[in-house]
Protein backbone atom coordinates (compact mmCIF):
# COMPACT_ATOMS: atom_id res chain seq x y z
CA UNK A 1 0.00 0.00 0.00
CA UNK A 2 1.14 3.53 -0.73
CA UNK A 3 0.00 6.32 1.59
CA UNK A 4 0.49 9.99 0.74
CA UNK A 5 -0.08 12.51 3.51
CA UNK A 6 -0.45 16.26 2.98
CA UNK A 7 0.49 18.38 5.98
CA UNK A 8 1.96 21.70 7.03
CA UNK A 9 4.05 19.89 9.66
CA UNK A 10 5.95 16.99 8.04
CA UNK A 11 8.31 16.72 11.01
CA UNK A 12 5.45 15.45 13.19
CA UNK A 13 5.48 12.14 11.32
CA UNK A 14 9.12 11.24 11.96
CA UNK A 15 8.71 9.35 15.22
CA UNK A 16 5.55 7.27 14.79
CA UNK A 17 6.41 5.95 11.34
CA UNK A 18 9.95 4.88 12.20
CA UNK A 19 9.21 2.56 15.10
CA UNK A 20 8.15 -1.02 15.74
CA UNK A 21 5.66 -2.73 13.47
CA UNK A 22 5.48 0.29 11.22
CA UNK A 23 9.19 0.44 10.48
CA UNK A 24 9.16 -3.31 9.81
CA UNK A 25 6.27 -2.90 7.37
CA UNK A 26 8.22 -0.19 5.54
CA UNK A 27 11.42 -2.27 5.54
CA UNK A 28 9.52 -5.23 4.10
CA UNK A 29 7.96 -2.96 1.46
CA UNK A 30 4.46 -3.77 2.63
CA UNK A 31 3.73 -0.05 2.88
CA UNK A 32 5.35 3.17 1.76
CA UNK A 33 4.46 6.51 3.26
CA UNK A 34 5.20 9.81 1.52
CA UNK A 35 4.82 13.00 3.52
CA UNK A 36 4.17 16.12 1.42
CA UNK A 37 4.51 19.65 2.71
CA UNK A 38 1.48 21.60 1.48
CA UNK A 39 3.69 24.70 1.40
CA UNK A 40 5.75 23.14 -1.40
CA UNK A 41 2.72 23.43 -3.68
CA UNK A 42 2.26 27.19 -3.34
CA UNK A 43 3.20 29.51 -6.19
CA UNK A 44 3.62 32.89 -4.48
CA UNK A 45 6.93 34.05 -3.05
CA UNK A 46 5.66 33.95 0.56
CA UNK A 47 4.42 30.34 0.20
CA UNK A 48 1.01 31.33 1.54
CA UNK A 49 -1.17 28.40 2.59
CA UNK A 50 -3.93 30.16 4.55
CA UNK A 51 -6.07 33.27 4.47
CA UNK A 52 -8.85 35.05 6.37
CA UNK A 53 -12.38 33.65 6.27
CA UNK A 54 -14.82 35.36 3.93
CA UNK A 55 -17.57 36.82 6.06
CA UNK A 56 -15.19 37.42 8.97
CA UNK A 57 -14.53 35.47 12.13
CA UNK A 58 -11.46 34.45 14.08
CA UNK A 59 -8.85 32.13 12.65
CA UNK A 60 -7.39 31.28 9.28
CA UNK A 61 -8.60 28.90 6.59
CA UNK A 62 -6.37 26.67 4.44
CA UNK A 63 -6.50 27.92 0.86
CA UNK A 64 -7.74 25.64 -1.91
CA UNK A 65 -4.95 26.13 -4.50
CA UNK A 66 -1.98 24.39 -2.80
CA UNK A 67 -4.12 21.44 -1.67
CA UNK A 68 -5.67 20.95 -5.13
CA UNK A 69 -2.20 21.25 -6.73
CA UNK A 70 -0.69 18.74 -4.29
CA UNK A 71 -3.43 16.13 -4.67
CA UNK A 72 -3.53 16.45 -8.47
CA UNK A 73 0.24 16.12 -8.73
CA UNK A 74 0.31 13.04 -6.44
CA UNK A 75 -2.62 11.49 -8.33
CA UNK A 76 -0.97 11.93 -11.71
CA UNK A 77 2.30 10.39 -10.40
CA UNK A 78 0.37 7.39 -9.07
CA UNK A 79 -1.62 6.92 -12.29
CA UNK A 80 1.53 7.27 -14.41
CA UNK A 81 3.48 4.72 -12.36
CA UNK A 82 0.79 2.25 -11.46
CA UNK A 83 -2.22 2.87 -13.68
CA UNK A 84 -5.81 3.74 -12.70
CA UNK A 85 -7.99 2.41 -9.93
CA UNK A 86 -10.00 3.84 -7.12
CA UNK A 87 -7.99 6.27 -5.03
CA UNK A 88 -9.58 7.52 -1.79
CA UNK A 89 -8.73 11.14 -0.99
CA UNK A 90 -9.48 11.50 2.68
CA UNK A 91 -9.85 14.73 4.61
CA UNK A 92 -9.30 14.41 8.36
CA UNK A 93 -12.00 16.51 9.98
CA UNK A 94 -14.11 16.45 13.16
CA UNK A 95 -17.11 16.61 10.80
CA UNK A 96 -16.30 13.33 9.05
CA UNK A 97 -17.66 9.83 9.55
CA UNK A 98 -16.49 8.41 12.85
CA UNK A 99 -13.41 6.20 12.42
CA UNK A 100 -13.80 2.56 13.45
CA UNK A 101 -12.20 -0.83 12.99
CA UNK A 102 -14.64 -1.47 10.13
CA UNK A 103 -13.48 1.67 8.34
CA UNK A 104 -9.84 0.67 8.95
CA UNK A 105 -10.60 -2.69 7.33
CA UNK A 106 -12.36 -1.01 4.42
CA UNK A 107 -9.36 1.32 3.82
CA UNK A 108 -6.85 -1.52 4.14
CA UNK A 109 -8.24 -3.00 0.89
CA UNK A 110 -7.04 -0.09 -1.29
CA UNK A 111 -3.58 0.02 -2.81
CA UNK A 112 -3.28 3.79 -2.28
CA UNK A 113 -4.62 6.38 0.13
CA UNK A 114 -4.21 10.15 0.14
CA UNK A 115 -4.78 11.87 3.50
CA UNK A 116 -5.18 15.62 3.95
CA UNK A 117 -4.43 17.15 7.35
CA UNK A 118 -6.24 20.40 8.06
CA UNK A 119 -4.99 23.12 10.42
CA UNK A 120 -6.20 26.39 11.92
CA UNK A 121 -9.97 26.78 11.40
CA UNK A 122 -9.98 24.07 8.74
CA UNK A 123 -9.99 23.98 4.96
CA UNK A 124 -11.83 25.93 2.25
CA UNK A 125 -15.19 24.26 1.63
CA UNK A 126 -14.40 23.73 -2.09
CA UNK A 127 -11.79 21.15 -1.05
CA UNK A 128 -14.56 19.14 0.59
CA UNK A 129 -16.95 19.62 -2.28
CA UNK A 130 -14.72 19.06 -5.29
CA UNK A 131 -11.56 17.23 -4.24
CA UNK A 132 -11.99 14.80 -1.37
CA UNK A 133 -13.84 11.51 -1.68
CA UNK A 134 -14.13 10.78 2.04
CA UNK A 135 -14.03 12.63 5.37
CA UNK A 136 -12.95 10.93 8.57
CA UNK A 137 -13.12 12.03 12.20
CA UNK A 138 -11.26 10.12 14.91
CA UNK A 139 -13.66 11.23 17.63
CA UNK A 140 -16.08 13.84 18.84
CA UNK A 141 -13.48 16.36 19.95
CA UNK A 142 -11.39 18.97 18.18
CA UNK A 143 -7.65 18.61 17.63
CA UNK A 144 -5.39 21.46 16.53
CA UNK A 145 -4.55 19.67 13.32
CA UNK A 146 -5.23 16.57 11.26
CA UNK A 147 -1.74 15.09 11.78
CA UNK A 148 -2.48 13.07 14.92
CA UNK A 149 -5.74 11.90 13.34
CA UNK A 150 -3.86 10.80 10.19
CA UNK A 151 -1.40 8.85 12.35
CA UNK A 152 -4.25 7.09 14.11
CA UNK A 153 -5.90 6.15 10.81
CA UNK A 154 -2.65 5.02 9.20
CA UNK A 155 -1.62 2.96 12.22
CA UNK A 156 -4.96 1.15 12.39
CA UNK A 157 -4.94 0.47 8.64
CA UNK A 158 -1.33 -0.66 8.31
CA UNK A 159 -1.56 -3.28 11.06
CA UNK A 160 -4.35 -4.91 9.04
CA UNK A 161 -2.24 -5.30 5.88
CA UNK A 162 -1.34 -8.93 5.18
CA UNK A 163 2.09 -9.80 6.55
CA UNK A 164 2.47 -6.73 8.79
CA UNK A 165 1.72 -8.51 12.07
CA UNK A 166 3.39 -11.82 12.87
CA UNK A 167 0.17 -13.82 12.91
CA UNK A 168 -2.99 -13.06 10.90
CA UNK A 169 -5.06 -14.44 13.78
CA UNK A 170 -3.84 -11.74 16.13
CA UNK A 171 -5.98 -9.09 14.43
CA UNK A 172 -9.08 -11.29 14.22
CA UNK A 173 -9.49 -11.49 18.00
CA UNK A 174 -8.69 -7.83 18.57
CA UNK A 175 -11.35 -5.68 20.18
CA UNK A 176 -13.89 -4.38 17.61
CA UNK A 177 -12.75 -6.84 14.91
CA UNK A 178 -15.61 -9.27 15.45
CA UNK A 179 -18.07 -6.92 17.14
CA UNK A 180 -16.79 -7.79 20.64
CA UNK A 181 -14.11 -6.45 22.96
CA UNK A 182 -11.18 -8.81 23.40
CA UNK A 183 -11.08 -11.34 26.27
CA UNK A 184 -8.62 -10.80 29.19
CA UNK A 185 -5.02 -11.75 28.46
CA UNK A 186 -2.38 -13.10 30.89
CA UNK A 187 1.30 -13.98 30.71
CA UNK A 188 3.80 -15.51 33.13
CA UNK A 189 4.08 -15.80 36.11
CA UNK A 190 1.01 -17.98 36.78
CA UNK A 191 0.72 -16.43 40.24
CA UNK A 192 1.74 -12.83 40.90
CA UNK A 193 1.34 -11.30 44.38
CA UNK A 194 -1.17 -14.02 45.10
CA UNK A 195 -3.28 -13.25 41.98
CA UNK A 196 -3.64 -16.38 39.86
CA UNK A 197 -4.17 -16.76 36.16
CA UNK A 198 -7.57 -18.47 35.51
CA UNK A 199 -7.13 -22.24 35.79
CA UNK A 200 -8.57 -22.94 32.34
CA UNK A 201 -5.73 -21.09 30.61
CA UNK A 202 -3.20 -23.44 32.20
CA UNK A 203 -5.17 -26.57 31.26
CA UNK A 204 -3.77 -27.00 27.75
CA UNK A 205 -7.33 -27.83 26.61
CA UNK A 206 -7.63 -25.64 23.51
CA UNK A 207 -11.37 -26.15 23.03
CA UNK A 208 -12.09 -25.12 26.62
CA UNK A 209 -9.75 -22.15 26.34
CA UNK A 210 -11.45 -20.97 23.13
CA UNK A 211 -14.88 -21.30 24.81
CA UNK A 212 -13.72 -19.43 27.91
CA UNK A 213 -12.24 -16.64 25.80
CA UNK A 214 -15.39 -16.29 23.74
CA UNK A 215 -17.52 -16.07 26.90
CA UNK A 216 -15.13 -13.57 28.44
CA UNK A 217 -15.27 -11.42 25.33
CA UNK A 218 -19.06 -11.42 25.53
CA UNK A 219 -19.10 -10.63 29.26
CA UNK A 220 -16.54 -7.88 28.88
CA UNK A 221 -18.50 -6.32 26.03
CA UNK A 222 -21.70 -6.54 28.06
CA UNK A 223 -20.01 -4.83 31.00
CA UNK A 224 -18.27 -2.07 29.09
CA UNK A 225 -19.97 -1.55 25.73
CA UNK A 226 -23.35 -3.31 25.81
CA UNK A 227 -24.54 -1.47 22.69
CA UNK A 228 -21.96 -3.37 20.62
CA UNK A 229 -23.76 -6.65 21.33
CA UNK A 230 -26.74 -5.61 19.20
CA UNK A 231 -24.62 -6.00 16.08
CA UNK A 232 -22.28 -8.80 17.25
CA UNK A 233 -22.54 -12.15 15.54
CA UNK A 234 -23.71 -14.35 18.46
CA UNK A 235 -25.23 -17.83 18.26
CA UNK A 236 -28.43 -18.76 20.08
CA UNK A 237 -26.63 -20.05 23.15
CA UNK A 238 -24.57 -16.87 23.37
CA UNK A 239 -27.67 -14.69 23.01
CA UNK A 240 -29.23 -16.64 25.89
CA UNK A 241 -26.09 -16.03 27.95
CA UNK A 242 -26.36 -12.30 27.26
CA UNK A 243 -30.06 -12.26 28.21
CA UNK A 244 -29.37 -14.20 31.39
CA UNK A 245 -26.50 -11.92 32.42
CA UNK A 246 -28.32 -8.74 31.46
CA UNK A 247 -31.18 -9.57 33.81
CA UNK A 248 -28.97 -10.63 36.74
CA UNK A 249 -28.29 -7.76 39.20
CA UNK A 250 -24.49 -8.22 39.06
CA UNK A 251 -22.35 -10.01 36.50
CA UNK A 252 -20.90 -13.20 38.03
CA UNK A 253 -17.13 -13.83 38.00
CA UNK A 254 -15.92 -15.62 34.87
CA UNK A 255 -15.34 -19.09 36.41
CA UNK A 256 -18.98 -19.31 37.49
CA UNK A 257 -20.27 -19.11 33.92
CA UNK A 258 -20.54 -22.48 32.16
N1 LIG B 1 -13.18 24.61 12.76
C2 LIG B 1 -13.17 23.21 12.48
C3 LIG B 1 -14.53 22.60 12.82
O4 LIG B 1 -15.16 23.07 13.76
O5 LIG B 1 -14.94 21.62 12.16
C6 LIG B 1 -12.09 22.51 13.28
C7 LIG B 1 -10.72 22.83 12.83
S8 LIG B 1 -9.48 21.99 13.73
C9 LIG B 1 -8.98 23.19 14.91
C10 LIG B 1 -8.12 21.93 12.64
C11 LIG B 1 -7.94 20.65 11.88
O12 LIG B 1 -7.70 19.60 12.78
C13 LIG B 1 -9.11 20.18 11.06
O14 LIG B 1 -9.16 20.82 9.80
C15 LIG B 1 -8.86 18.71 10.93
O16 LIG B 1 -7.98 18.41 9.88
C17 LIG B 1 -8.17 18.37 12.24
N18 LIG B 1 -9.05 17.76 13.23
C19 LIG B 1 -9.51 18.31 14.37
N20 LIG B 1 -10.28 17.46 15.07
C21 LIG B 1 -10.30 16.32 14.37
C22 LIG B 1 -10.94 15.08 14.57
N23 LIG B 1 -11.70 14.83 15.64
N24 LIG B 1 -10.76 14.10 13.65
C25 LIG B 1 -10.00 14.33 12.55
N26 LIG B 1 -9.36 15.50 12.30
C27 LIG B 1 -9.52 16.49 13.20
Reported confidence tier of residue 254, pLDDT bands at 50, 70, 90: low
Residue 35's contacts (CB-CB under 8 Å, 6 or more residues apart) are: 5, 7, 10, 13
Catalytic residue flag (residue 215): no
Q: How far is the CA of 148 from the centre of ligand 1 (A)?
A: 10
Q: From CA 164, how far away is CA 31, in angstroms rounded? A: 9
Q: What is the mean pLDDT of residues 37-58?
A: 97
pLDDT tens digits, residue range 122-141? 999 999 999 999 999 999 99
Determine what percent of the chain is predicted with pLDDT higher than 90: 86
Catalytic residue flag (residue 199): no
What's the CA angle centered on 106, arms 101 and 110, to 5 degrees?
135
* Domain 2-166 class in CATH: alpha beta
Q: What is the DSSP letter of 96?
A: E
pTM of the model: 0.93
Return the residue whose CA atom lies nearest to atom 26 of ligand 1.
Answer: 93
Ligand 1 shell residues, CB under 6 Å: 92-95, 117-119, 121-123, 137-139, 141-146, 149
pLDDT tens digits, residue range 145-171? 999 999 999 999 999 999 999 776 678
Ligand 1 atom with the shortest distance to the CA of 145: 12
Q: What is the CATH number of domain 172-256?
A: 1.10.1270.20
pLDDT tens digits, residue range 200-225? 999 999 999 999 999 999 999 999 99
Catalytic residue flag (residue 121): yes
Within the chain, all domains assigned CATH 3.40.1280.10 are found at: 2-166
Q: Is residue 59 classed exposed, middle or buried when 0-12, 13-18 and 19+ CB atoms within 10 A define those classes?
A: exposed
Within the chain, all domains assigned CATH 1.10.1270.20 are found at: 172-256
Q: How are beta strands 195-196 and 191-192 bridged, if at all? A: antiparallel
pLDDT tens digits, residue range 109-118? 999 999 999 9
Q: Which residues pair with 116 in a beta bridge?
A: 6, 91
Return the residue whose CA atom lies nearest to atom 24 of ligand 1.
Answer: 137
Catalytic residue flag (residue 256): no
Amino acid sequence: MQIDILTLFPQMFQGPFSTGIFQRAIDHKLVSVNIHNIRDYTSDKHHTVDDYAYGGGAGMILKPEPIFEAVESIKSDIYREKGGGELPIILLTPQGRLFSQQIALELSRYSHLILICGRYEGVDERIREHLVTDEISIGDYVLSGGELAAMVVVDAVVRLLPGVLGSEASTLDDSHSNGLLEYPQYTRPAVYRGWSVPEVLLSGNHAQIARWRREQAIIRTLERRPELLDKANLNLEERRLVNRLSTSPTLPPSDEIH
